[in-house]
Amino acid sequence: MAKKMHDTPNLDQLESGPWPSFVTGLKDLAKDKDYVVDLLGQLEESYQTKKGYWKGGTVGVFGYGGGVIPRFTELKNADGTPKFPDAAEFHTLRIMPPPGMHYDTDTLRKFCDIWEEHGSGLIAFHGQSGDIMFQGATTENVQKSFDEINEMGFDLGGAGPAVRTSMSCVGAARCEQSCYNEAQAHRAVLNTFLDDIHRPSLPYKLKFKFSGCPNDCMNAIQRSDIAVIGTWRDNIRTDEELAKKWFAKHGMDELVNDVVARCPTKAFQVKELSKIKAGEHTSTVAVNDTHGIEISNQDCVRCMHCVNVMTGALAPGKDKGATVLVGGKSHLKIGGLMGTVVFPFIKLDTEEEVASLVDYAERHIDFFAENALEHERSGEMIERIGLANYLDAMEIEVDPAMVNSPRMNPYVRTDGWEDEVAKINAKKQAA
Amino acid sequence: MNQAVQAAPAAKRKPKETGVPENTKYLHPTLLKNYGNWRYHDRPRPGVLHHVAHSGDEVWSVRAGTQRQMDVHTIRKLCDIGDNFAEGRVRFTIRSNIEYIVTDEKKVAPLIAELEKNGFPVGGTGNSITMIAHTQGWLHCDIPGTDASGVVKALMDELYDEFRREEMPNRVHLSTSCCEINCGGQADLAVIVQHTKPPVINHDLVANVCERPTVVARCPVAAIRPAMVNGKPSLEIDESKCMCCGACYPPCPPMQINDPEFSKLAIWVGGKNSNARGKPTFMKMVAAGLPNNPPRWPEVGAVVKNILTVYKDDARPWERLADWIDRIGWPRFFEKTGLPFTKYLIDDWRGSRYNLNASAHIRF
């Protein structure tokens, strides 16, 4: 039995209602832990005063420089002692999950046992960067709990100016839209940079995210410095059995209004079967005895919409790989940036092909470490120096797939034009 | 660098720098067997995904909402359900929903019943409003303007039925963020703290706590400059330039940006992560000035519900919030939702000219 609970009139109101309540969970923990009794006390005070009361500090585990988020209470009595002394230290361990966030119950139970013994008993699955967040341990217990979690085969994630924990979607494990082995790429890239994850020494944070298709379930384009998005080069595959099944259920109105009309490049047409033209770059499939679908794959931008609506009837092609974008981030400091295409297509089937992605990542991080200003993200650095200079440094050839349109102003010095044309022509001839 | 505070030397154990673990040992055996060979999926009912492999194997995934910040008793309860009613393998989605994977369709209904009996709503698939991506807030963050878990609990209580149904025009992703850094991320609809007053500086502390050049460099509008105040080196703010973003607060806690009254909440709409149909989009601010009103933030809930109700009634199938507004236009969005379009919603940050209407395209 723990000590008496503090009054929590505000938090109590978050116990009613149908959604699972974190307050009820905390109160459950507080039955046995003075630690959580005082945590609830401090949280209630925040609800009353509308102020936060945690400050950072310096707490870590032996051998690593980051991965623990230190929190010390700032809520003090007049004499300087903590108002809620049992929760005066409330540090979080960020632990990297397996790709796709798959677990067996045995592993989850072991996490619970460790955290019940050494920590608050509060675990978040998962934080916004993808970490399992073991929330709430005293400075003394951080090392003990890390040692036990580490012995289970789990490692600390990133914090501060470091390579951060990554996320990959469920992908090939359970999704028909998967275009590469997300888990393999995720581990190959991240595990190359363990030193940069565990010992923060970059100009600022650097995030990778891995989505298996352009649905981008990991939100990689908007919030990762390097986004790896599955895609394919050949034609959309078709399955007549499933196409007819879909049509029988949904009919012509839905096919026209929900699929044809929503194709962003008008690559998707419905035609009478007799008018459908097969071709090297055309996908065709009948939906009933009179009508069928004709997709011009050279016009298709792999947006996924028709494949999402008619899953199975339509599917990504067989020549799969990924598009790589660089520079996504949120507002601070110059405003939100989405990633920019730097590789329209790479293959990721073999270990060598995955290694070439890792090689690019290494060259990017080297360049970032050397050229970014303090607290500058990759996207801001590229905005400052211009994409062309970045590509030069990375030895990546320019490609019109990298831009929405060519430049709209004349403010560029073009006296190297002939040399560039000569280089492109020489390359064409050599090919 | 962070090794100043350590356990006793005897306890020093070298970490096993193993990195990201392999997921194969955690995968359901049927997922491992059919890895990369799935044919299609459908959704027999809200909260259930049915995947069929090219081998003919089938799996059902039952998805349930959680509170994300879970106590060990809750996690053990979820494990008990996984062991007794499913097949011992689970995964979590990016929005903190748990998924149970089973190979026997007969297990689906009892599993759903057990989850709901224990208070875990089954849903969050397809055209539902799924669980809110959120941050830490007062529970753990060092710079929060508001709470996270509490806002989410209050909103999800309101949106509970839509989580368990698939009746929205398309999927709806929500996020909340406790400061303008927006850790909650881009979403169809986001609730984000919006400060309205410049930071209040404790000049006694700046010199000892803050690396002043770093703080000066952090300001997006160059409003901060070094100054001597009361004989001490400190910082001052050009309040006519300051747009109250709070970027100076993390590197310099004596520049307090959070204020119980003047830290307000804003609502943003139309973020889309996916490339489906149009390219990904950033969300746009459509309402601000909402009070930070714990424990249930009713004013925020009312605006969120209003926008989502109008969207649900008016959007066509497969239109995400951004797609819907693309079709009806911003004037009609503000008209239909009744939200005031104020001058503060006209972008004046860099690149803002591309957000202005440079055409005669007007809907009447």
Residues B212, B174 within the same domain:
no
Tell whether B271 is covered by a domain: yes
CB–CB of A27/A5 below 8 Å?
yes
The beta-carbon neighbor of A47 closest among B245, B276, B295 is B295
| A125 has pLDDT over 60 | yes
For residue B363, the one-letter residue type is: R
Tell whether B175 is covered by a domain: yes
Residues 6+ apart with CB under 8 A from A247: A255, A287, A288
Length of chain B: 364
State the residue range of the domain holding B168: 137-196+260-354
Please state the ipTM of this predicted complex.
Answer: 0.96
Tell whether B255 is covered by a domain: no
Per-residue pLDDT tens over the stretch B110-156: 999 999 999 999 999 999 999 999 999 999 999 999 999 999 999 99
| A1 has pLDDT over 90 | no
Query: Which CATH number do you get for residue B270?
Result: 3.30.413.10
| A140 has pLDDT over 70 | yes
Compute the average pLDDT of residues A325-331.
94
* CA nearest to B144 within chain A: A52
Contact B19 A155 (CB under 8 A): yes
Instruction: Give exposure, A225-248, as e/b (b: 16+ Cβ within 10 Å).
Output: bbbbbbbbeebbbbbeebbbbbbe
Pairing of strands A314-315, B284-290: unpaired
Mean residue pLDDT across chain B: 95
Per-residue pLDDT tens over the stretch B15-67: 999 999 999 999 999 999 999 999 999 999 999 999 999 999 999 999 999 99
Say whether domain A9-151 belongs to CATH 3.20.130.10. Answer: no
Tell whether B190 is covered by a domain: yes
Per-residue pLDDT tens over the stretch A222-258: 999 999 999 999 999 999 999 999 999 999 999 999 9
pLDDT of residue A332: 85
Residues B36, B151 within the same domain:
no
Residues B278, B190 within the same domain:
yes
Mean residue pLDDT across chain A: 97
| B8 has pLDDT over 80 | no
Residues B45, B99 within the same domain:
yes
Contact A333 B247 (CB under 8 A): yes
Q: Where are the domains of chain A?
A: 9-151, 176-231+320-430, 237-315
Compute the average pLDDT of residues A47-69.
96
Per-residue pLDDT tens over the stretch B317-332: 999 999 999 999 999 9
Residues B37, B163 within the same domain:
no
Tell me if domain A9-151 and domain A237-315 are identical in fold. Answer: yes
Query: Which CATH number do you get for residue B220?
Result: 3.30.70.20
Smallest CA–CA distance, residue B12 to chain A, in Å, is 6
Tell whether B130 is covered by a domain: no
Give percent of chain A with pLDDT exceeding 90. 98
Q: How many domains does chain B have?
A: 3
CB–CB of B72/A116 below 8 Å?
yes
Tell whether B181 is covered by a domain: yes
pLDDT higher at B8 or A100: A100
Location of structure tokens 């994409």: A387
* Dist. CA A41–CA A297, nearest whole Å: 61
Residues B284, B181 within the same domain:
yes
Q: Which of B208, B242, B276 is the last residue of a domain?
A: B242
Say whether domain A237-315 belongs to CATH 3.40.50.150. Answer: no
pTM over 0.80: yes
* Dist. CA A32–CA A5, nearest whole Å: 11
Rounded to 5°, the CA angle A270-A272-A278 comes to 75
Contacts with A, B 203-222, CB within 8 Å:
214, 217-218, 220
For residue B272, the one-letter residue type is: K
3-state secondary structure of A360: helix
pLDDT of residue A192: 98
Compute the average pLDDT of residues B200-214.
95
Residues B112, B42 within the same domain:
yes
Give percent of chain B with pLDDT exceeding 70. 97
Residues B96, B175 within the same domain:
no
Residues B106, B166 within the same domain:
no
Looking at domain A176-231+320-430, its CATH superfamily turns out to be Sulfite Reductase Hemoprotein, domain 1 (3.30.413.10)
Q: Cα B170 to the chain's mean position, in Å?
A: 18
Closest of B98, B106, A96 to residue B89, by C-alpha: B98
Name the pLDDT band for B242 (thresholds 50, 70, 90). very high
pLDDT of residue B11: 58
Residues B237, B317 within the same domain:
no
Tell whether B65 is covered by a domain: yes
Tell whether B4 is covered by a domain: no
Q: Which residues pair with A198 in a beta bridge?
A: none
Contact A190 B19 (CB under 8 A): yes
Residues B266, B162 within the same domain:
yes
Residues B305, B341 within the same domain:
yes
Residue A276 burial class via C-beta count within 10 angstroms: exposed 0-12, middle 13-18, buried 19 and up: middle
| B1 has pLDDT over 80 | no
| Interface membership of B84 toward A (CB under 8 Å) | no
